[in-house]
Amino acid sequence: MKVTVKYFGLVAEATEKSEEVLDLNGTLTALELKVQCLNGLAIADKESVQIAVNQNLDDTITLKDGDEVALLPPFAGG
Amino acid sequence: MDKKKPKKVFVQGAIPPEKIANSVANHQSKTNIGAHSIFLGQIRADEVEGKTVTAIDYTAYEEMAEKVFHEIREAAFAKFDITCAHIYHSLGKVNVGELCLFVFTSSAHRKIAIEATNFFVEEIKAKVPVFGKEIFEDETHQWKVNK
């Protein structure tokens, strides 16, 4: 299955890209994908990164083909 | 009429002070309003380890942010008896001393408007996927985190 992964803020800085399409095998939850994506990146506090699946902040969702996933560092609006 | 329709919140760069005056002027024909409450967020020249912040460069997951702004509006209208509410947030570079957030609520009476504005600001800071790169005078940077 293919999912689009978007990166923002310090995550985009660490990956040096704003998005990519990943071809994934088997069943994966959002949390599992987050751990996989952040593994090896120079990010001090990985726990603070949230994952949104189709704009919903729920890392228990099982991913399906065509999902849009976003890795979101701590919010800083206002 | 401006209750349900999703509105464009993001503006490129700093919010000009004239926008605040114009927004007030635009509401003078709505004579059921007795109170406006305004919150303005301004970029602060924070000092970190001897370096001074000169600007914040804002980015956002825009599609999700617009959706969350809309949900916050819906929640505010359900919770408070407000006549109208407007939110503007900057994207891109905003220099210290300039405005990055403008929340404007109106109601028949002051308490409701003040509470609603506070609700908007707290919800925006907690729930909207906006990211801020604090740029120092030597061009280095750090990432802002809301407290």
For residue B141, give the H/E element and its range.
Answer: strand B141-143
pTM passes above 0.90 = yes
Place of tokens 């947030």: B89
Q: Show residues of chain A in contact with B121, CB under 8 Å.
A: 78
Q: How far apart are CA B87 and CA B1, in angstroms?
A: 16
Closest-CA residue of B relative to A53 is: B64
The answer to whether B106 touches B36, Cβ cutoff 8 Å, is yes
Would you call B125 and A78 a contact, using CB atoms and an 8 Å cutoff?
yes
Mean pLDDT score of chain A, rounded to an integer? 96
Q: To the nearest whole percent, how much of chain A has pLDDT over 90?
A: 99
Residue B41 sits at the chain A interface (C-beta within 8 Å) = yes
| Per-residue confidence (pLDDT) for residue A61, from 0 to 100 | 96
Beta strands in A1-78 (DSSP E): 2-7, 19-23, 50-53, 68-72
Residue A77 and residue B64: Cβ atoms within 8 Å? no
Residue whose pair of structure tokens reads 């408070």 in the numeric block: B80
Question: What residues of chain A lie within 8 A of the CB of B132, using their CB?
Answer: 76-77
Inter-chain residue contact B129 with A10, CB threshold 8 Å: no
Q: Which residues in chain B have their CB less than 8 angstroms from residue A70's CB? A: 61, 64, 129
Which band of pLDDT confidence, cut at 50, 70 and 90, is reported for residue B5?
low
Q: Which residue has the tokens 């001393």?
A: B97
Nearest-Cα distance to chain A for B105, in Å, is 16
Residue contact A76–B124, C-beta within 8 A: no
Q: How many CB atoms lie within 10 A of CB B113?
A: 25
Distances (CA, A) of B140 to B10, B54, B134: 26, 11, 9
Q: Give residue limits of the domains in chain B.
A: 10-143
Q: What letter does residue A62 receive in the DSSP assignment? A: B
pLDDT tens for B69-84 read 999 999 999 999 999 9
Compute how many other C-beta atoms are within 10 angstroms of the C-beta atom of residue A21.
Answer: 8
pLDDT band per the 50, 70, 90 thresholds, residue B6: low
Residues in CB range of A16: below 8 A, 6 or more apart: none
Residue B129 near residue B61, CB atoms below 8 Å: yes
Per-domain residue ranges for chain A? 2-72
CATH of domain B10-143: 3.90.1170.40
Check: CATH 3.10.20.30 for A2-72?
yes
Question: For residue range B103-146, what is the model confidence (pLDDT) as tens digits?
Answer: 999 999 999 999 999 999 999 999 999 999 999 999 999 999 98
Tell me which residue of B94, B99, B82 sits closest to B135, measured CA to CA. B94
